[in-house]
Amino acid sequence: MAVEDLTVKGLAGGRLAKSVQDAGWGGFLQMLAYKAESAGRKLCAVDPRGTSQTCVCGAKVPKRLADREHVCTACGWMASRDHVSAQVILERARTVPSSANVGEVRPCLA
């Protein structure tokens, strides 16, 4: 399981303030970590930088915030921006060592 390692305090002060606070992002992550641990799974927090500007193939695909579709000129993959970002986050989580700890949300490092 993978999530972006977001700074909730930073998000709460910006444009997304109300939605971040309403969602209780920190509480959600704690619950997700607990559920992952009880299921014997890892919850990895990965670097959020560039997840929407990168293709799963590794190519950089610059987009404006208004651009909702991802079209990679390197591999030709076309999908929604959010779907590609989720795939990039998952791929980043897969590159961490398998001996990573479970129980709290943090980068999965040995």
Using H for helix, E for strand and C for coil, what is the string for 9-38? HHHHCCCCHHHHHHHCHHHHHHHHHHHHHH
**Domain contains 109:** no
**Domain contains 70:** yes
- pLDDT tens track for 29-69: 889 999 998 998 888 889 889 999 999 999 999 999 899 99
**Domain contains 53:** yes
Please state the domain count of the chain. Answer: 1
Which domain, by its residues, includes 9? 2-94
Q: Is 12 exposed, middle or buried (0-12, 13-18, 19+ CB in 10 A)?
A: middle
pTM (2 decimals)? 0.71
Tokens coding 7: 């700074």
Whole-number average pLDDT of the chain: 80
**Domain contains 101:** no
**Domain contains 65:** yes
**Domain contains 104:** no
Residue 89 has pLDDT above 90, yes or no: yes
